[in-house]
Amino acid sequence: MQAMVSCPVPPEQRPREEYTQLCRSWFFAWPQAGMVSLLRPLLISWMLLLPVALLVASGSFSLRHTPVLMAALAALAALGLPLLLLLRQWLGWSYVNRRLLAERISYEESGWYDGQVWDKPLAWRQQDLLIAQHQVRPVLLRLRRTTGGVAALLLVGGGICQALGSLLPS
């Protein structure tokens, strides 16, 4: 029979609980459910920012006379919000991944000034490692691929905007 492990870490600061809270979160659950559930809100955020970016771009005198370039630059600028959302997703999931993979848990008993460290028992480390490898790692890979896709769109879009700008008369 296995002995009960007395854990001094507050329940809400335990890596498995942090993982559970991340999974229950409306925002952080996007990449966990699959690529479609991640891309849908990113596309919606891009579409919501696009009219604002068009409005801002229309304030430029030189762009006002080149509507195709104005639309292309606005579409490119509107990718900023999805990129920021992906960055926030990455930061949350990678933090939990690091906590799951760590052999020691840093925690605070009552505030920021009294940090402690607790060594995870072997059984806890094994369970956390399984969660990190089979649940969190696929999410991080999905986020990495999606961020790479958005970065590629930015590069290709920047090249297209540069080409459009050079084709237009000065």
The tokens of 147 are what?
């961020």
d(CA 142, CA 144): 5
Q: Does residue 41 contact residue 30 with C-beta atoms inside 8 Å?
A: yes
d(CA 74, CA 121): 53
Whether residue 107 lies inside any domain: the answer is: no
Q: Domain limits at 94?
A: 35-100+122-167
Count: domains in the chain:
1
What is the model's pTM? 0.88
Whether residue 141 lies inside any domain: the answer is: yes
**DSSP assignment letter at 60:** -
Segment-wise mean pLDDT, segments of 10 residues, the chain, 170 residues: 70 95 96 94 97 93 86 95 97 98 89 81 96 98 97 95 80
pLDDT tens digits, residue range 133-168? 999 999 999 999 999 999 999 999 999 999 988 877
Q: What is residue 1's predicted lDDT score, i.e. its pLDDT?
A: 40
d(CA 34, CA 43): 15
Q: How far is CA 151 from the centre of its chain?
A: 13
Whether residue 6 lies inside any domain: the answer is: no
